[in-house]
Every structure is written in C-alpha cells, then in structure tokens.
Amino acid sequence: MEKNISTLLNILNLEEKAALVAGTNFMYTNPVPRLGIRSIRMSDGPHGLRVQKEGGDNGVSQSEPSTAFPTAALTACGWNEENLYKMGQAMAHEAKYYGIDVILGPGVNIKRNPLGGRNFEYFSEDPYLAGKLAIGYVKGVQENGIGVCLKHFACNNQEIRRITSNSVLDERTLREIYLSAFEMTVKEAKPLSVMSSYNKVNGIYANENPHLLQEILRDEWGFEGIVVSDWGGDNDRIAAVKAGSELEMPTTDGETNREVVKAVKEGRLAINDVDVLVDRIIDVILSTKEHLKDAPKEFDKEEHHLIAQHIAEESLVLLKNKDHALPLKPEEKVAIIGDFATDMRYQGAGSSVVNPLKVDQINEVIGEYPLNVVGYEKGFKRYGKKSQRLIDKALKLAEKADTVLLFAGLDEVTEAEGIDRANIRLPGNQRDLISAIYHTGKKVILILECGAPIEMPFADRVDAILHAYLPGEAGAKAILNILTGKVNPSGKLAESYPYGYADCPSADHFGKNDKNIEYREGLFIGYRYYSGDTMVGARFPFGYGLSYTTFRYDNLKVSDDGVRFTLTNTGDVDGKEIAQMYIGMKDSNVFRAARELKGFQKVFLKAHESKEVFIPFDEYAFRFWDIKENKFEVEAGKYQIYVGASSKDLPLVGEIEKEGIDAKGIYDKSKLPHYFAGEVREIGDEEFKELLGRELPPKNVAYVKKHRIKVDYNSSISDLHYAKGWTGRLFAGAILFGIRFLRKIGKRTTANTLVMGVYYNPVRALSRMTGGAMSMAQLDGLIMMFNGHFWKGLHHFNKMGHERKKLKKEQKKREKEAKTCRAN
C-alpha cells in the first residue's frame, strides 16, 4: 500500500470506511483488497499469547502453543520494570512468529477489592506501581514492532454485571486512582491502542464517553493510537464513533457498518468524524506492517521458558519464615502434600488462558534437587468437600518426614473472568488439612497458588509461607529454587492482605447485584486505607516480603530532585531489596491518605555490602486533583518523605517544603468528616453526594408496574425475571435453572460460563457478542416478546431473520478477504 492516508481517504467509499472501523470476525479487522489495505490481526495476551486457530473464537476453542508467563498479580510483586520489558520482548517475538499485529494487554485496572474475579490479570492496588510495570511491558512489545492494547479503560473493577454496571465515583478518585496508571503508560510508552471497558463511568458507557476518550485520553494525554471496544462492548455505535472509538470488535456481521453508513447518509453522523477514525486505523495498519516481512520461522521456546522462570523467581513472595524454616537443608526429608503440587494452578481462567509450550510440575522436577522426598499425597479434592480418607493418608505420610511441603490454593472456577469470588477464604477442605498437619508437630511449609488475597487465620499454624500467586508454566522450578535456597526470595506484595474481608474499605459496596457501583471509599483503597492512624491494618501490608538476608536503611538525605539513602545487606547471603518511597502531607487542606507510593528501586547487594540509593521525585510525586480548577496541582506546604521496606516498615523519615497553591476552601471539611479522618467504611448518602458534587443515581431497576420492568437493549438477562412477557421470564428462568443444575452435577466451569456469558449480560449481547448470529433487528422482535407482545414480536423476528440470511453471504466474503489480504 503505497498511497498516503489522505489520498486513501479520498478514494475509499463510505461502505469501505464503515467496514474499516469494525471487525470481520473475532480477531481480524476488515481489509479493503482493491486498495491493498490489509487486515489487522489481534491476540489476547496479558501474560502470554492466546492465538486462536483458524475457525476459533474469543475464548472457547484451542489456541496455538505459546509461553505462559506469570500473571500480572505475580509479576507486579517483582517490582521490576526490566523484567516486564523482557517479557514483552519475548511475547513480541512469538507474535511475529504467529503473524499477530496487536497484543491485547496489559491490563492496568486497579484492584479495588480482593473479591474481583479478574484480579489475577491486573498488577496492583496502587496506580503508580501498575503504571511503571505497564510501561516496561508496553515498551518491550512495541520496540519490537508489535502493538499493544492497554486495557480496560476505565473503572472496570468487578465482574458481576460488568457489561451493564455504572461505576459511580468523584472526579478526584477517578483521576488519582483509576486513571493514573493509564495516564503514565500512555504518556511514557505510547501504546498503539487502548481498549475501552464494558461498563458505564458516571452514567455513560466507557466506549462512548467523550470525557474519557476525547477530553482526557486525547486532549490531555496526547494519545495518538486507536480505541478498541472490549469484545461485544459497543452499546451505541454512532455514539461511539462520535466519542472517538475507532474499532468495534468483534464482527456484528456488518450490521453496525450499515448503521454507520445510514447515519452519515441521514445527516446524523458527520463524514469527518468517520474519516478521523479511518485515518487512525490506517496509520495502525501501516505501523504494524513491517514485522510481516521478517517474520521468524521459529522462536526460542526454551529461552522464553527460562525468562518465565526468572520472572517468577524474582516475584515470589516469602510471607513468613519462622526460625529460619527456609531454605530447606540438603537431604531434608520432605513430604509433598496437596493437589496443587501435581496439577499446578499456573494461570488464570477466561480470555487470558494460554495453551502453554510446556508446564513444569513440582512432582516431576523435584528429583533434580538435593532433597529426600518420602512421598506424595493429594490431601484434598480440588473441587470437592472434606475427605477424611485423604487427610488420614496425608497424615500418615507426614509422620515419615521432617518437613511437610503443603501446596494449597484456589481452583480455576473460584476465581475467573466474569465471576467475582464469594469470599476470600481458602476452601474448607484445605483449611481442615492445614489444621490436621499442624497437629502432627512437623515443620510445615505452606506454598500458596492463588491469584488474589486470601484470609490466613492459619498463618500462626505453619512455619513458613511462600506465595506463588499464578507463577506461569515454569513456576515449579521457581518455587523449588526458592525453597532450597538456590534463589533468595525478593518479591514483595503489590496489594494488601487483610485479616478478614470485613476489613476491606469497599466491602459494603462491592459485587452487589445493583447496576450502580458506588465507590464510596473514594481514594482510600488498599494500603491508603490500612495505613491510617485509626485503622486495624493488614495482616500482610502492601510492599511486604521477606528475604533470606536482612537489610538496613540509613542516612536519608532529601533534596529537590529526590531522596538519597544508604542501603546495607546486613546478612551473610547476597540478596535483592525493594526500597520504597512514600509521600504524605500531615497538614494538608485536602483529605489524603497518610502516605502514597511515589518511587521504588530494586537493589542487588552482596552480603555485607552497602550502596547509596537514589529515588527521584517525578511529575506524579506531589500532585493532587484540584476539583475547583479541574487540573492537577501541587499544594504548598511541608511534605513528609518515608523510605523503607514496605508501606508499614518505614524507618527513614524526612521532610521537604514545596511551593504550590493554597488548597484551603477546596473541600468543606464539616461536610466530609469521614474522608478527612480516613474512616470510610460507613459513608452516608449525604456525605457521598457531597463528594460527588451531584445527586446519587437511582437505585437498581425501575418497575413500570408491580414487579415488572420494560425490557430494553441494556436490560440484563437476569432482569428478565421481571419482564412483562412470559417469554422473558421463561428465558431467564431457563438460564438460571441451567446454571443451578450444572453446579449440582459438578459442572461448575460450564455454569460459570453461563453466568459470565449470558445471565448478567445485557439483552443486546445476544447480537453484539455472538458475531452477528442474531441481528439487532431480530433482537427487536425478541424484546417485543419479552415486553408482552408475543405474536407481533415473533413475526418481526422471523421476517428479520430472512433478511439476515442474505447479508450473511456478504460477511463470509469479507472474512475470506481478511485472511488473504494480510501481506499486502
């Protein structure tokens, strides 16, 4: 394609322009063969490529083999941007091999609450750490000729009702917490694309939200790439085009293309709005074209496996090590107990699932280590109830050993995309096993494989805890290298671990079956809440992690450009320490967390070695969002600088005076007492309304008559229980019955798929998320039936079905063209 973009815009007809801003199937965009405009091919890939084989879809069929790297929940615990860069490089090489143009990742959504079913896919509860790691990932991929798609923009922080929910929050919380990681990544790494989230943000769907897509993303941050809808997340295509959403994915069988054409011809949509989007799409096509010319015939599978192992080794977190229980001694007699030793939970569940090149299992590789393994017992059923028989067999084996390596965790059904967790506990059968093993008096090393925080009332009953999160395909050797001392652990938590779920600041306002999700806790999530003077604190605080050596912090010097201090390895083994810098302002006139992470360095020190460490102040260090001026400002006054090993362990404290604005009068303290106190568990309606600066949205559904609603495109399938028409109630009832039946017979994964893919989805998803299997015109007929007009709706449904068959042939032709136009 040699013509420049402006020339192409003049040559392209309206139908071709409308096609260019839409998908042609699940992972390809539409080409224009007559002008040599090829298709873009995408792949899921937060922590490894999910390249769908031909004929595959977005989450069900088998994908091509690729490296399963540790998930973001673990890589974040490495606090190492360079490792994310290396991971990005490796993924880019695999993308070139498979002919992928854009990798759908990384995800930088903030972990608002530990119940979030997709938390394993995201980095942190802290936006600064998430942003820094995402920058490394994006640069690693894009500097090797492949684009990324930063996701999910924005405030997509729970899975229940994720496609119809409305995230309700104030502008300052939005800017400082939920957008900051996106902002940092867009400004510093320049991702090729950004994926809009399914949900509404303050009443407007993210994919058609001009405040997010135009005012913030483009006008303020200078984003020059394309916005891609999450799959099936395009609610109103015309509104999305006007707001600046370039690409709708996946295909709707050309239906929304025709909507765009019709809107332009009727004057409801300006052709210039379409041209702007087409211009950006073609620019992406051109910028990703070169990698196709030098696509490798293979990639180094073993090297990528070792990269995955190294990243896991750098990230695993040692939470407890009583009386130096670890590392294990050579020839120590160990019993291996727990299903997760022989069938490791190494990745998440949902659209990020990778078909790994190979998976190391503990029982398969432990023979390479100088340990005396006395045997293995399962100990519990992964998906079942307590089995005394399995516990008894585990106890019998434990008696033969000096040390028990107990592998526990969460199964693939408990935490998954589309489903939030019901609680933050380990399953009861595993808790029973831990208790039973404790009473043997043997040394117990607990290895956890789960993607998010859990309550640990059993922490005092084990000698050591190694948290592996979801460590990727090479996780087994990473775990064993740390257990045996071959590698000194250096990971630190990227999220807080509360004593119990009731301690979470958002506990009362998360995961409710309500379309409005109220972020009443505001800025105070994670350690920003637990670090408050009156708070109970966390069992394991943000930034916490142990080593086989010890470190000392000395000689803090604070200057205008940053902080300098001396870090000393006071132990007898080499190690790495993650030194963290937090900033607070005790005398602020705006409410703030006691301290916030604003810098960190991972430092390697030989035994007894000292180094001077410098952590700079950057543009994010002292700013806050001024709700009066609608911009970031620095408040004038004295700031406290904290340096140490975690958000709680901060031995060095200094101060610095900063010039800035007088922040008096921005908030009325008398109307926001709980926010100024940092005690946000019980925020009343009036105080939250004061924070928002507007009225609260109405609660839940609006009934048109007693227990009956008017069904529309954005009514969820679960809402159909209250439909006026019997067909709607029958449809919802059948889906719910199917879910309950599948769970009863043990098909929990299939049941969760129904919950994720049907029950809480909007009615429009029957068309938008099925690749056009049903047209929106047919859906109108269904909605008529759901609203009590059965015969009229049935007639309309059948009539539109005949018309859709004619259009299907055209779509099949476009799909074929997309695959044959790749190299042009």
Partners of residue 628 on adjacent β-strands:
none
pLDDT per residue as tens digits for the range 69-86? 999 999 999 999 999 999
Work out the pLDDT band at 706, boundaries 50, 70, 90.
Answer: low
User: In Å, how far from its chain's centre is CA 690?
Assistant: 30
* CATH number for the domain formed by residue range(s) 547-683: 2.60.40.10
Q: Which residue has the tokens 């990703």?
A: 288
- Distance between CA 534 and CA 698 in Å, rounded? 33
- Name the least confident of 220-229, 315-324, 774-783: 774-783
**pLDDT tens per residue, range 184-200:** 999 999 999 999 999 99
Q: Is the pLDDT of residue 3 over 70?
A: no
Q: Which band of pLDDT confidence, cut at 50, 70 and 90, is reported for residue 596?
A: very high
Residue 14 phi, psi dihedral angles, 5° rounding: -60, -40
Q: Report the run of H or E that residue 151 belongs to, with start and end.
A: strand 147-153
Please give the pLDDT value at position 128: 99
SS3 110: coil
Sorted by sequence, the CB contacts under 8 Å of residue 669 that are 6+ apart come out as 676
Q: pLDDT for 281-321, tens place per residue?
A: 999 998 888 777 778 888 999 999 999 999 999 999 999 99
Q: What is the pLDDT of residue 59?
A: 47
The CA distances from residue 557 to 560, 642, 656, 758, 776, in Å, are 10, 11, 10, 57, 64
| Ramachandran region, residue 598 (left: φ > 0; alpha: ψ -120 to 50; beta: rest) | alpha
What gap in Å lies between CA 780 and CA 793, rounded to an integer?
Answer: 7
Q: What is the pLDDT of residue 58?
A: 47
pLDDT of residue 60: 39
- Phi, psi at residue 576, to the nearest 5°? -120, 135
Check pLDDT > 90 for residue 807.
no
CB atoms within 10 A of CB 661: 15
Residue pair 410/450 in contact by the 8 Å Cβ criterion: yes
Provide mean pLDDT across the span 563-580.
99
Most confident of 62-66, 180-184, 708-712, 735-739: 180-184
pLDDT of 767 reads: 84
Q: Does position 749 have pLDDT exceeding 70, yes or no? A: yes
Q: What is the mean pLDDT of the chain?
A: 93
Of 441, 530, 535, 442, whose CA–CA distance to 493 is shortest? 530
Q: For the chain, where do the domains classified as CATH 3.20.20.300 start and end?
A: 5-292
CATH 2.60.40.10 residue ranges in the chain? 547-683
Q: How confident is the model at residue 816 (pLDDT cuts 50, 70, 90)?
A: low
Average pLDDT over residues 505-517: 87
pLDDT per position as a tens digit, 625-656: 999 999 999 999 999 999 999 999 999 999 99
Q: Quick one: CA dihedral 354, 355, 360, 362, positive or negative?
A: positive
Dihedral of the alpha carbons of 335, 454, 132, 315, in degrees to the nearest 10: -10
Least confident segment among 172-181, 344-353, 801-810: 801-810
| Residue among 823, 770, 811 at smallest CA distance from 101 | 823
- Asked which of 150-159, 205-214, 284-293 is least confident by mean pLDDT, the reply is 284-293
Task: Give the pLDDT confidence of 382-405 residue by residue, as tens digits.
Answer: 988 889 999 999 999 999 999 999
Confidence (pLDDT) at 809: 65
Return the pLDDT at 699. 76
State the Cα–Cα distance between residues 418 and 82, nearest whole angstrom.
Answer: 31
CA 240, 244, 246, 250 torsion: positive or negative?
negative
Which DSSP category does 465 fall into? Answer: E
- Which residue, 578, 715, 553, 733, is CA-closest to 646? 578
Contacts (Cβ under 8 Å, ≥6 apart) of 433: 337, 338, 379, 380, 390, 391, 394, 406, 408
Tokens of 536: 């109970």
pLDDT score, position 811? 62
Mean predicted confidence (pLDDT) in 201-216: 98
The arithmetic mean of pLDDT across residues 695-718, rounded, is: 81
Three-class DSSP category at 572: coil
Dig out the tokens for 491 from the structure.
């990971």
- CA distances to 130, 482, 609, 613 from 605, in Å: 25, 18, 6, 11
Which are the catalytic amino acids?
230
Homologous superfamily in CATH for domain 5-292? Glycoside hydrolase, family 3, N-terminal domain (3.20.20.300)
pLDDT, one tens digit per residue, over 470-480 is 999 999 999 99
Half-sphere exposure of 699 (CA within 13 A, CB side): 4
The pLDDT tens digits for 10-43 are 999 999 999 999 999 889 999 999 998 999 999 9
Q: What is the pLDDT averaged over residues 196-206?
A: 97
Give the separation between CA 511 and CA 21, rounded to whole angstroms.
34
**Among 567, 490, 578, 503, residue whose Cα is nearest residue 535:** 503
Query: For the segment 347-374, what is each residue's pLDDT rounded down to a tens digit?
Result: 988 888 999 999 999 999 999 999 999 9
Q: 645-699: per-residue pLDDT in tens?
A: 999 999 999 999 999 999 999 999 999 999 999 999 999 999 999 999 999 998 7
Q: Which residues contact 387 (CB under 8 A, 6 or more apart)?
A: 380, 381, 429
pLDDT beyond 90 at 417: no
Rounded CA-CA distance 449/382 in Å is 12
In the predicted structure, residue 591 carries a pLDDT above the cut 80? yes
What pLDDT shows up at residue 693? 96
